[in-house]
Structure 1
Amino acid sequence: MALGEDEASNIPICQKWVIPMVNEMLLDDTNVISVLLVDTEEWRHLLIDYMEHGKLLDDPKHCSKIRQRAPRFLYYKGTLYQRSFKEVLLRCLGEEEASQAMEEAHSGIDGAHQSGPKLHFQLKRMDYYWPSMVKDCLEYAKMCQACQFHANFIH
């Protein structure tokens, strides 16, 4: 419907925002809790920041630790690698990638539900690395329900 030149129409305007402005929130006497989702600091980011940009944390202990560890790592095309003692480059994994790699190596196509040390050895052979690798492999093997169900009973 089009209005002519001589016709008028009233349009109501809402003066209240659905989401209150910051100033209104500060003036209210209500308790407001804001939640900000922050990504957890991954162990790889500290090394990458140091190797790419020379950035270090303010803590002197962390600075010396990162400086000591950095020569054993290589950052190439967006991927961090660790040089093993045999000069093999091991791809550094984050938390989610590590759990996926453990699941695949333990109970995937090639997995034979190995124990923790064997799982760690197999992941190293697959050229993967993360700092808590041994501990994570031991815990993963202990938590596998199929392994616990079919384990040898000690009499």
Structure 2
Amino acid sequence: MRYRFLTISPKGEHVPVSIKLDFLATNNAAEYEACLLGLRSAISLNIKKLVVHGDSSLVINQITGSWKIKSNSLAPYQAKIEELDMYFEEIHYIHLPREENQFADALSKLAALVNIPDHIDSMPLCVERRSAPSYINEINGTEEDEIESWYTSILKFKDTGEYPDNLDARGKRELRMLSTLFVEANGGQLYKKTVQGVLLRCIDQKTADKVMEEVHDGECGPHMNAHLLTRKIMRLGYYWTTMEADC
């Protein structure tokens, strides 16, 4: 059984999530699971005003109180949703016809097709729009040495507990959460810790470009897609946040 949800910010940023359930559940229970996870994700991001769109008329009408819950197995879900609703200043539940919910349906099909190994809890999905070819990566009027590395803020926070001056409360919270995924070792070098406990060395964009070029120019390199190239670089012990998109 799989379920999915999509978070959309006021600025139009999309954060898709598709999840497989490793326990028996009805379709209605899966819809409730998706709703609960979406609410928890919104709470973790300190969102106070939320509009929830769902393509299950039964679940939406039960949540809003328009229909009574007759199934004892679904009643605990309703109680938990009412508990989480208290975290929001404003929340609305709206039924969305399934034909208008194409993105979520695509996520559901993807979760059904992908076989996630038992030792991996999640597999990230990145969907980006590019307005120019990938080889156009020069920054006009700026020396590369003057560009701050993507991990500078993380490393500084782990060293001193200080935040960048331009961060608001939400940004500070995200930085604290992000910093827990990294460890500092070998005299100030930052490493990304994988779920298997492997440490991947964090590198800046200039070094990353060289690594991608060398690995792709190697044996069988031209036949690798972005996902395989990323996995090979990680096996070599390197990491940066946009590596799959860059590959």
Distance 1:86 1:128, change over 3 A: same
Shift of residue 94, structure 1, vs aligned partner: 0.4
Aligned match of 2:164:
57
Partner of residue 26, structure 1: none
Aligned residue runs from structure 1 range 16-27, under 5 A: none
> 2:233 corresponds to which residue?
123
The reply on whether 1:46 has 2:156 as its aligned counterpart is: no
Other structure's SS at 1:80 match: strand
Residue pair 1:81, 1:90 contacting (<8 A) in 2 also = yes
SS at match of 2:180: helix
> Using a 3 Å threshold, how does the CA distance of structure 1 residues 36 and 104 change in structure 2: closer, same or farther?
closer
Structure 2: gaps spanning 5 or more residues: 1-140
Shift of 1:57: 2.2
Give the 3-state SS of the residue equivalent to 1:105 in structure 2: helix
1:149 aligns with: none
| Separation (CA, whole Å) in 2 of partners of 1:127 and 1:42 | 18
* CA-CA distance at 1:61 after TM superposition: 2.4
Question: CA-to-partner distance for each residue in 1:103-137, whole Å, 9 max, x for gaps?
Answer: 111003x4532221110110111111100011000
1:82 to 189, 192, 197: 192
Q: TM-score, normalised by structure 2?
A: 0.38
Structure 1 residue runs of 4 or more that deviate by more than 6 Å after TM superposition: 35-38
Query: Which structure has the larger Rg?
Result: 1
Q: Shift of residue 69 of structure 1?
A: 1.0
Percent identity over the alignment?
Answer: 27
CA positional deviation for 1:65: 1.1
- The letter for the 1-side match of 2:182 is F
> CA contact under 8 A between 1:80 and 1:91: conserved in structure 2?
yes
Matched positions, count: 102
What stretches of structure 1 of length at least 5 have no aligned partner?
1-34, 138-155
CA distance in 1, matches of 2:221, 2:188: 32
> 1:94-113 alignment to 2 at 5 Å?
94-108=204-218, 110=219, 112-113=221-222
Structure 1 length normalisation: TM-score?
A: 0.60
Seen in structure 2, the aligned counterparts of structure 1 residues 46 and 111 have a Cα distance that, compared at 3 Å, is: farther
C-alpha RMSD over aligned residues = 2.1
Structure (1 or 2) with the greater strand fraction: 2
- SS of equivalent residue, structure 1 residue 43: coil
